Chain A
């Protein structure tokens, strides 16, 4: 393990976990929140010809999912570099 010291290693893991937690909160809000639990309320709003709740359930959540994975990838790579554990 090429971490500079034990503290770095602990910090890396807890940073990793907090990033995961944030991304999963967004994941939950767009799918289970906007697409299922609050769908009826959001359906009152018109969005480019869609009812907003319906749009989240059948389109929007999927776009956000793709974005989440790319954000995760970018953040993790930056983190690996910062801690000097990137693979290059």
Chain B
């Protein structure tokens, strides 16, 4: 059977599975819709959280990024997993004890302020939309390459599927579907990595094969060879980076606190029955995430060696374009690989200097990897299904946050306080529907600056949500004015720095012009400090939080009596 038929069968089978689960687990109340009735077992919640967390960016793009960045790619690996530690230790148990549905709910109640709640709602919606547009785009890329439909059709198919189970199942449907998606995704990621690791080094585990000696009998370590190749071809040594230490530090930190503030992941901890379970499911979730995150860097290194050797040939003199392998031709059609015969010898050559004749988009590394390594057709089909699973699971989680923010935080808390449970559920479904259409539109017509906007979203989450939530838990006396001033100054500072370097004056975006050598990707860390400092100063100049708020903070610090997450 050819790759395309197999892909149809495997992707089709996974879709049928997701829909069956959605029908089985459809939501009956707002409680089901928002937090799955608060009764999901920790292991399952761990898997669902992991699927929610690992987006199309983690599955499709991350290993590719690392492959091109070498050591510097560690900012994503450590940033995204280390942020999870902050979330699990400093936020999750307390927010679970607090027991409301959303992050804006916490901020609004803790700081007894409608303004704070509204600012938080808009931040949450902005962050989620940025993400979800990227996910839809991921679905589109996978479909257009493997099913050979155009990107628009691909996005529409993805929208219909997500719409179906988000609107029908709410959090309950999403959670159980995500468990299935996690299994598909992780299997699809591990299988090619194991294959390639065995081929290159003879190790079954990619995590150890990564550092092992090559199986060609030369006795050279894989990483050593990659370092030598990189230097020879005019790239930086793979195991040392090009970014300055301070920049790596700040970017990693911004990604960590930014991820810890992501609303669609925080809400996960409201779906387990008890505080103890919130701690436990955080542990499982990171363990599941770690499977993919420790495989990614080895996949990145293997893929790079394979790609360089396939294009440049074993002698590093280039290979004939006329006899190029089929993956190069296939990806050329999507525009993600391009060859320009500069020296007119009819041979392809890839390097980091003026000899280079290839343009290779980093997003294709994971998807093209099985083809580059000549793996069986079913592995290629499996990777396509995994990419779709990653994109769908994250989109669904994000869409749910958007719909909850609209129906619960905006409508119920601001405009229609007397709305019935049933009507609220209807509005939640309606909001999810509208959100999917908007996200789909951005997936088909992505703004030209998706990557910049993503950096923006992390910076915003780092400089707004994170400090305010931390202070809300660990300081009893922090007041509304301090929190609002902190959020606004943190966001304003971060946004101004990013907008200046990314949009107003992109030509100046070089290390010489950055403050203290910090790139716009890392500035959220500084924004976070600004937030803390401003909040503290304003707090010192105003009255401390009222007695009943201090009692509320007191109560979330102890686990006893953590009931179900509930409306008010």
Chain A interface helix/strand/loop/mixed: helix
Q: Give bound CA distance, A16 to B223, whole Å.
A: 42
Within the complex, the shortest CB–CB distance from A74 to chain B, in Å, comes to 9
| Bitwise interface map of A from 51 to 88 toward B, beta carbon under 8 Å scored 1, else 0 | 10011011101110110111011001100100001110
Within the complex, the shortest CB–CB distance from B187 to chain A, in Å, comes to 20
Q: Tell whether, in the assembled complex, residue A66 and residue B211 are in contact, meaning their CB atoms are under 8 Å apart.
A: no
Q: Give bound CA distance, A55 to B77, whole Å.
A: 12
Chain B interface helix/strand/loop/mixed: helix
Q: Give bound CA distance, A40 to B546, whole Å.
A: 50
Candidates A1, A40, A62; contact of B294 at CB < 8 Å? A62
Candidates B73, B223, B283; contact of A66 at CB < 8 Å? B283
For A, the interface residue count at a CB cutoff of 8 angstroms equals 45
Candidates A2, A55, A57, A70; contact of B283 at CB < 8 Å? A70
Q: Tell whether, in the assembled complex, residue B558 and residue A12 are in contact, meaning their CB atoms are under 8 Å apart.
A: yes
Q: Tell whether, in the assembled complex, residue A72 and residue B275 are in contact, meaning their CB atoms are under 8 Å apart.
A: no
Within the complex, the shortest CB–CB distance from B6 to chain A, in Å, comes to 33
Q: Give bound CA distance, A20 to B279, whole Å.
A: 13
Candidates B81, B212, B280, B555; contact of A65 at CB < 8 Å? B81
A-side contacts of B223, CB under 8 Å: 49-51, 54
Q: Tell whether, in the assembled complex, residue A69 and residue B282 are in contact, meaning their CB atoms are under 8 Å apart.
A: yes
B194 at interface (Cβ–Cβ under 8 A)?
Answer: no
Give residues of chain B (233-266) contacting chain A, Cβ–Cβ below 8 Å: 239-240, 245, 248-249, 252-253
B207 (CB) vs chain A CBs: closest residue: A59
B-side contacts of A24, CB under 8 Å: 89
Q: Tell whether, in the assembled complex, residue B71 and residue A63 are in contact, meaning their CB atoms are under 8 Å apart.
A: no
Q: Tell whether, in the assembled complex, residue A87 and residue B559 are in contact, meaning their CB atoms are under 8 Å apart.
A: yes
B-side contacts of A55, CB under 8 Å: 211
B80 (CB) vs chain A CBs: closest residue: A62
B372 at interface (Cβ–Cβ under 8 A)?
Answer: no
Give residues of chain B (57-106) contacting chain A, Cβ–Cβ below 8 Å: 66, 71, 73-74, 77-78, 81-82, 84-86, 88-90, 93
| Bitwise interface map of B from 264 to 292 toward A, beta carbon under 8 Å scored 1, else 0 | 00000000001110011011001100100
Q: Give bound CA distance, A85 to B275, whole Å.
A: 11
A68 (CB) vs chain B CBs: closest residue: B85
Best-surrounded residue of B89, B212, B248, B276 (most CB of chain A within 10 A)? B89
Q: Tell whether, in the assembled complex, residue A65 and residue B74 are in contact, meaning their CB atoms are under 8 Å apart.
A: no
Q: Give bound CA distance, A16 to B245, whole Å.
A: 33
Interface residues of A (CB under 8 A from B): 1-3, 9, 12-13, 16, 20, 23-24, 27, 31-32, 35-37, 39-40, 43, 47-51, 54-55, 57-59, 61-63, 65-66, 68-70, 72-73, 76-77, 80, 85-87
